[in-house]
Structure 1
Amino acid sequence: TYNETGRDAIEYLSAAPNSWYFYNSGTFAPNCDLDSYWFVTTWSTDGTTQIKFPATGTSSDYAIKYVEIDDDGNEIGQMKTVAPAADNQVINSLKYNKKYRLYAYGEGLKRIYFYNAGSNNQILKIEKWGKAKWNSFNYAFYQCNNLDITATDKPDLSDVTDMSYMFFECKKLKNENGSINSWNTDKVTNMSYTFGGTNAFNQPLNGWNTSKVTNMSYMFKDATAFNQPLSSWNTSKVTTMYAMFEGATSFDRSLASFRLDTISDMRNILNGSGISCENASASLVGWKTQAQGNNKIKNVNLTNFLAADQSYNQDGRDAIEYLKTAPRSWYISGGKFTEDCINDAKWFKTLWKASATSITFPAVGSGYILRYVPVDAAGNPAGAVQTIDPAAAGQVISGLTVGQRYRILAYGGSFTQLSFDTYQQSRSDLLRVEQWGSTQWTSFANAFKMCVNMNVTSSDKPDLSALTDLSGMFYGCVSLTNNNDIKNWDTKNVTNMSNMFFGATSFNQNLSNWNTSKVTNMDHMFQGATSFNQPVGSFRINALTSAQNIFMGSGMSCENISSTLDDWKTKAAADNITNVDLSGFANPDQYYNQTGQTAINDLTTNRSWTISGGTFAADCQSPDSWFKTIWQPSGNNIRFPAYGTTSEKYTLKYEPVNASGVPTG
């Protein structure tokens, strides 16, 4: 580009008699003010009337322009200029609680340094990096809590070796266009704390050239959103990765590709990160492989590399033992060994009592790991753990002792379903479900059918997110009582609950929190569940088409039946729920009161429901409710000797009967 002076010179030289020829000769820019040259930022004046622009180490050869903008970024005020601008230039007399766009450019602009600048929370965006030739980004945007980068160009880093703390605790940094990945970092040696404490940043960085970096300590510490692959990075000159990903709770990538040619300090590198057992183990194996091929990789400090609750598997354990042994002599601590990377919370755990020398485990699916161990009456291990890997559908566990209790654990493969309807051999042997684990179940249809000795004592809840069918799940489970976690099950995707508690004669848990909005079938759901006496009027019945025999033979009281019918009447009116089949919903010796009768009349007349079953009993006073006596009066009146009725009324009915007690009037 050229300014007015250059333009005048071109015009003079082009004219006769000079007659110079100018082709592809650049672009005219008044005052050499070319838009692409400026470092452009957006700022807020919330709570203040000034902005401190933290340029540092400058000469007088740079200028600042600034203008007010609206919320859409449109410039609405008069552009003003500060030229020459100084170190930590303060721009005063701005409007309170407004936004401004600042332009900065000049050979003297070489560094931004927000450490203790006082205006950290005011800068909102970097819109353009411009042509500034930066010489350092150490502490450049330190604790700029509201900063994001929307620029699509990239900064000139050809003189930059230090990027430490560049975006430290920039809580809102997202860089959604991913432009950071295109930066040329081939001169940078220090990247410590670069993204430390960034809670929102999660963009690719695989495009960075890290071949000269020596310090990556704390680089992503507490960068809680970051989880990008870094497998292309050249870390051959890095000496310290201390706490590099500590507290980066989303980060779950193998670091096996990180070259360790000069590394000495890797303490806390993954401590408290989100790394999985599998990727932690793969990292250890990769480092072991490098050490086997490079005798210089030794005496590395890898203490506390994982937190106490983070895991590695057999391969990781073997790698640790190799690296700790001379001549490698690494210092390693942290984490815990977890066989097959299955931590305790992942297992589906059950307790059994063998009635024969084998137990058939009713898995639908294969390729999973099954472990079993004898336990004493208190549930403590009483022998060695045995493993079947891989286990099959309907896996038979042989060589057991009759009468001995066993804990059986299962996880992995395609094991996502149980069916005691398919594998009936050991139904009576199952005593308890102790833990549901992390299996994503795909069906519980007839899962525990006729497991007559089974109870659920787990404190966790099953993952039902991929499941639609709970039909017959606890069919005939007459010992099911202590299922306190069931009230919090996530049933929002379930469509079939028919027969779920059929004949579960001991079950009586509150299910009012269940989301039944997709359930179409509740046929026989509580039939024969003689202890069940809970109102289920909270059930959402938007999709319900059939609930035949739902309460037949259950323990539902007249009051709970009536309130449930009344709640369903209200829901049906609100959502126009029609044509539900509620035939045989209760036995003739089960009752509903006036509220229930009104609900039945409304649902059948106005909503075309099909309803039969049960018997009307005014005020829920069924024939069995009455205290009945037969009298032979000696006169024309009888005094009924009720006592204790001063505060409560009671009803008294009387009728003549013959000698056999048959009413005669």
Structure 2
Amino acid sequence: MRVLKVLSLLLFTLLMVTCNTDDDVQPQTEQWLYAHTASQGIATSSTTFVMPVTDDIFGFTDRPYRKSKYISGDEFASYWNDYDDVNSFKLDPPNAVLTYVDGDEIKELEVVITDATFDNSNITYTIDNTSLTNNETFDDASLFVDGNGPISKIYLASNGLTVKASAKAIAGDKGKINGVTYTVVDKSTLTTMINNGDDVTKVCTSLITEMSNMFTEVPDFNQKIGTWDVSNVTTMYGMFDGAGFNQDISNWDVSSVTNMGSMFSYTMFNHDISNWDVSSVTNMSYMFDGAGFNHDISNWDVSSVTNMNGIFAGTNFNGDISSWNVSNVTNMEGMFNLNHDFNQDLSSWDVSSVTDMGSMFSQADDFNGDIGSWDVSKVTNMRWMFYQATIFNQDISSWNVSSVKNMSYMFDEAFAFNQDIGSWDVSNVTHMVYMFEGDPGKVTNFNQDLSSWSVSGVTQCDGFSAYATSWTKPKPNFTNCSP
């Protein structure tokens, strides 16, 4: 049993002067205990505890040999950052006991310290598994830190929900939290459990780094897995694709994930994930394709994303994403395809890196946002871009489309569109098939003079203006294809 379980200030003092051990059973590595004492400590939040450093931190070990030392606050805090084999606090966050005076009583509180910083006067400890209250004070505070890592291989994170494993944990390790036994699993074990329909709400997933297509073969999966530790996962591609999943996973730490492509495709998922840190994600293609999702994600940091192909296709999503930094996105193909509700302000988006806008607003029949100032100079594909975007009619006359090669079906059945785009440089376009096709039963508004278009490079223009009966002004003069 670890000393920390029964540690008190009196015992700590006695250990310095008396200790009988059997040399035959002594461990070969040093096991240090540290004491940080102060007249008062303050919980500045539910997860941070601040203690002034008025004296050096005292350290003591009796295994394998009795030693003691005094170290500065700066050195002690560095154990969570500049660690070695002895002081591996970053690898295995140490347990600690906080003792303090409350009236006539001496009380104690067990915590796990995950980080520490020193500002030349105070050490600020970041604490997991605690019930601290904001601005709570602790008189005659003593913090006894077990430098040998957590007592249990499994512990509860500071959010009070996520079940985490220490760095030394292996698959099969078990631990109890609030009377519930959790088991550390690897991906192979977890996959087998899922395929067998087992209960996966009491597993610890800290060892798993890859969760691609985890539930694609189990469409009825809908267990409560909000306690999972996904902080080490790098890919969640297709994780819930086609599953019936719709549970709260708002507390997941997804900060290491780079691939969320098709993550919620065709699921019922519609929970708040606004606080997710997606700053490492590069692929969000089809992330919500066909899903029921429509929550606020306006504050997401998507600055690393390069692929948003179909991200909101076939959804009812209509959230404000006007502030998104999409400057690194190159693919927006089908981004709002078949989204019948989206109509948000995208005017400030920096789309200067985008090369593919094919089907971007195809059948987005509620969209009519001002996107006239967009820099589309790198776009090569605008095929189907506004197909059946039936109310879109914004001025996009200033667009630089000189790199575009394919404009087939671009305004096909976009009945409302009637802007002057006669100045467009379409000299690199090769495909204009059914570009302005109408519908025999509906009126197509487009009626602009496009006679100045340079279309000598166009080789396919079948049905260019088929059924566009309202178009009476001059059309392009095709020489290498028949419209």
Structure number with greater CO (CA < 8 Å, separation at least 6) is 2
Normalising by structure 1, what TM-score? 0.36
Q: In terms of Rg, which structure is larger?
A: 1
**Greater percentage in helix:** 1
Normalising by structure 2, what TM-score? 0.48
